């Protein structure tokens, strides 16, 4: 079910009869985000109320029905009676029904659907289960964003399908831990915007968040830090508060099921070889120098300063996995448990911001470079990544990593997530590797939303209009090379985001812009039209009780109007 604060509900009951033919509602705007491929407004309206019947005419559509009824219950205080006609051949009622079925569209990407709203009924016909589900999300956006039990929606005919196969969002739970209830809410936010991939960042220098039964110290030690800096890196103070947390394997299984019910794939990220301080704090022998203490420097610190420590500030640290047989055995054992929890084709192995200092001064690493005939430490990173890739391939999985995995030579079957601009994605596509575009300049939602820095963030400035302007197909690619661009992803790193309401504030409305980039045809993109539709979406944010950044109260610099 949708995880929405019950305190937000204040429902009133009006009409109990469905349908309608008066034409005044035809003047109401159709505000759907992401924009469908084609919308034809028609005269009249249909009214959803407690007497409306939800009819399943095709098999396997229970997930869509459950999601829609849960949404109605949480936000409007009622559900629809469900009638399954997929097996018994009964006639569909003539009026006051929402009918779900299939239609042979055969679109190249799963998720196409056709939808028609008349005065008597709503028909949603999907190319497949995903298509019906996305049609339901469109129906939800036709509902008025006011609490009522008589929900008038405009008569309309819609043809729709996704532009990209990969439509993703990343949430960093390593820097700050978010409980399972909010992770589920985050997944719902993705579903409501027709996103289909949740990239879950689970391990970091500041915390290890996934239970690994073979290595209990990863969560006993690595999931907790003794304090967190106050202010920007390196910090002007420390809150001196122990913080952290982790997800048990049972909780992860539950969340994976929850996402699957929304046709969302979860890609887990297990960072390597850098960003590994928390794991090294738990098992120092993973380090090139197990007996050396964590380098703290001038960081405001709380607790012990000797031995290996979970980091209390942000940035890039010298901690890095030693490419030893012990480390590879450890990582293979970790990944064995990870792939039992996540059915995703991809396992994200990070690969970004790998410091080479310890490798350079390690006699073992230098000997390994010579023995393997590697050119340098970048070659050692490539050796590391390719060895992990070979192991995951042997388990029927593929790796995806940040664009640094290109350094020293790309692993044979790897997919690249291009974050340092588009260069890495362009290079990978030219080598005929699949690519997900995620450049900082358009897709990093931890950046400020305006010049008026109203809430502490990592830096940068990424206003809504710039996010919306992004085109994932680089001009540098030929048509043949462009086919390797599989989609787009926005990332929400949480160095300066410690609570759910701020996640929402940084997410909305920029996530809506990203959703439209990922779903809608390029020729449909129009920022002025998008912001007009956003006014209705803002009312829906208020219905949800979520936080958001209000572009209508500030000018382009963030100055109040």
Per residue in 290-312, pLDDT tens?
999 999 988 999 999 999 999 99
Q: Residue 28: its pLDDT value, please? A: 59
pLDDT exceeds 60 at position 196:
yes
CA dist 9 and 62 (Å) reads 25
pLDDT exceeds 50 at position 22:
no
**Read out DSSP for 387-444?**
HHHHHHHHTT-EEEEEGGGGTTS--TT-EEEE-SSSHHHHHHHHTT--EEE--HHHHB
Confidence of residue 5 (pLDDT cuts 50, 70, 90): very low
Rounded to the nearest integer, the mean pLDDT of the chain is 93
pLDDT exceeds 60 at position 477:
yes
- Residues 254, 180: contact at Cβ < 8 Å? yes
CA dist 369 and 362 (Å) reads 11
pLDDT exceeds 80 at position 23:
no
Domains parsed from the chain with CATH numbers: 6-160 (3.30.379.10), 166-553 (3.20.20.80)
pLDDT tens, residue by residue, 36-65 = 999 999 999 999 999 999 999 999 999 999
pLDDT exceeds 90 at position 214:
yes
Which of the residue ranges 250-264, 449-463, 507-521 would you say has the lowest mean pLDDT?
449-463
pLDDT tens, residue by residue, 337-357 = 999 999 999 999 999 999 999
Q: Residue 559: its pLDDT value, please? A: 59
Which of the residue ranges 9-13, 222-226, 278-282 would you say has the lowest mean pLDDT?
9-13
- Residues 174, 204: contact at Cβ < 8 Å? yes
Q: Residue 557: its pLDDT value, please? A: 58
At 467, give phi and psi (nearest 5°): -55, -50
Question: What average pLDDT does range 431-448 have in this prediction?
Answer: 97
Question: What average pLDDT does range 372-398 have in this prediction?
Answer: 96
Q: Residue 1: its pLDDT value, please? A: 36
- Residues 153, 48: contact at Cβ < 8 Å? yes
**Read out DSSP for 212-271?**
-TT-THHHHTTTEES--B-SSTT-S-B----EE--B-HHHHHHHHHHHHTTT-EEEEEEE
Confidence of residue 88 (pLDDT cuts 50, 70, 90): confident
Which of the residue ranges 11-20, 385-394, 543-552 would you say has the lowest mean pLDDT?
11-20
Question: What average pLDDT does range 414-425 have in this prediction?
Answer: 95
Question: What average pLDDT does range 496-520 have in this prediction?
Answer: 98
Q: Residue 409: its pLDDT value, please? A: 79
- Residues 40, 157: contact at Cβ < 8 Å? yes
pLDDT exceeds 50 at position 190:
yes
pLDDT tens, residue by residue, 390-409 = 999 999 999 999 998 888 77
For the chain, the helix, strand and coil percentages under 3-state DSSP, each to the nearest 5? 35, 20, 45
Which pair of structure tokens corresponds to residue 126? 């999907």
Q: Residue 17: its pLDDT value, please? A: 37
Which of the residue ranges 116-130, 315-329, 453-467 would you say has the lowest mean pLDDT?
453-467
Question: What average pLDDT does range 100-108 have in this prediction?
Answer: 96
CA dist 493 and 504 (Å) reads 13
pLDDT tens, residue by residue, 530-543 = 999 999 999 999 99
- Residues 192, 74: contact at Cβ < 8 Å? no
């Amino acid at each position: 079910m949708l995880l929405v604060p019950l305190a937000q509900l204040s429902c009133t009951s009006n009409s109990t009869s469905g349908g309608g033919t008066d034409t005044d509602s035809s003047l109401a705007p159709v505000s759907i985000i992401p924009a469908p491929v084609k919308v034809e407004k028609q005269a009249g309206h249909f009214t959803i109320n407690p007497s409306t019947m939800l009819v399943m005419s095709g098999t396997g559509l229970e997930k869509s029905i459950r999601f829609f009824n849960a949404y109605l219950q949480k936000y409007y205080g009622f559900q629809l009676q469900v009638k399954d006609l997929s097996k018994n051949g009964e006639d569909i009622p003539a009026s006051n029904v929402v009918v779900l079925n299939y239609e042979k569209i055969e679109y190249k990407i799963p998720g196409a659907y056709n939808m028609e709203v008349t005065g008597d009924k709503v028909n949603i016909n999907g190319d497949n289960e995903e298509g019906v589900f996305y049609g339901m999300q469109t129906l939800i956006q036709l509902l008025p964003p006011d609490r009522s039990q008589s929900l008038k929606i405009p008569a309309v005919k819609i043809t729709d399908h996704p532009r990209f196969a990969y439509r993703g969002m990343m949430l960093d739970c390593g820097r700050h831990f978010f409980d399972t209830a909010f992770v589920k809410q985050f997944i719902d936010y993705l579903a409501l915007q027709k996103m289909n991939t949740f990239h879950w960042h689970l391990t970091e220098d500041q915390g290890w968040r996934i239970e690994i039964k073979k290595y209990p110290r990863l969560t006993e030690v690595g999931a907790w830090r003794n304090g967190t800096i106050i202010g920007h890196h390196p910090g002007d103070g420390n809150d001196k508060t122990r913080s952290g947390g982790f997800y048990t394997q049972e909780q992860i299984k539950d969340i994976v099921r929850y996402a699957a019910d929304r046709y969302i794939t979860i890609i887990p990220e297990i960072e390597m070889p850098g960003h590994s301080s928390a794991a090294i704090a738990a098992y120092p022998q993973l380090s090139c120098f197990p007996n050396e203490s964590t380098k703290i420097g001038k960081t405001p610190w709380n607790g012990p300063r000797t031995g290996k420590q979970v980091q209390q500030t942000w940035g890039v640290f010298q901690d890095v996995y030693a490419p030893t047989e012990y480390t590879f055995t450890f990582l293979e054992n970790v990944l064995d448990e990870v792939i039992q929890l996540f059915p995703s084709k991809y396992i994200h192995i990070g690969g970004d911001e790998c410091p080479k200092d310890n490798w350079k001064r390690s006699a073992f690493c230098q000997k390994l470079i010579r023995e393997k005939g590697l050119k340098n430490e970048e070659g050692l990173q490539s050796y590391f990544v390719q060895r992990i890739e070979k192991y995951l391939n042997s388990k029927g999985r593929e790796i995806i990593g940040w664009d640094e995995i290109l350094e020293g030579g790309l692993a044979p079957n790897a997919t690249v997530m291009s974050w340092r601009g588009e260069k890495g994605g362009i290079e990978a596509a030219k080598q005929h590797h699949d690519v997900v575009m995620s450049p900082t300049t358009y897709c990093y939602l931890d950046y400020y939303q305006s010049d008026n820095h109203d809430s502490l963030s990592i830096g940068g400035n990424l206003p809504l209009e710039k996010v919306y302007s992004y085109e994932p197909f680089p001009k540098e690619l030929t048509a043949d090379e462009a086919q390797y661009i599989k989609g787009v992803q926005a990332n929400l790193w949480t160095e300066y985001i410690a609570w759910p309401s701020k996640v929402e504030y940084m997410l909305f409305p920029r996530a809506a812009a990203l959703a439209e980039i990922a779903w809608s045809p390029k020729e449909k993109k129009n920022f002025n039209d998008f912001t007009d539709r956003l006014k209705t979406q803002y009312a829906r944010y208020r219905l949800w009780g979520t936080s958001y950044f209000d572009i209508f109260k500030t000018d382009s610099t963030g100055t109040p109007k």
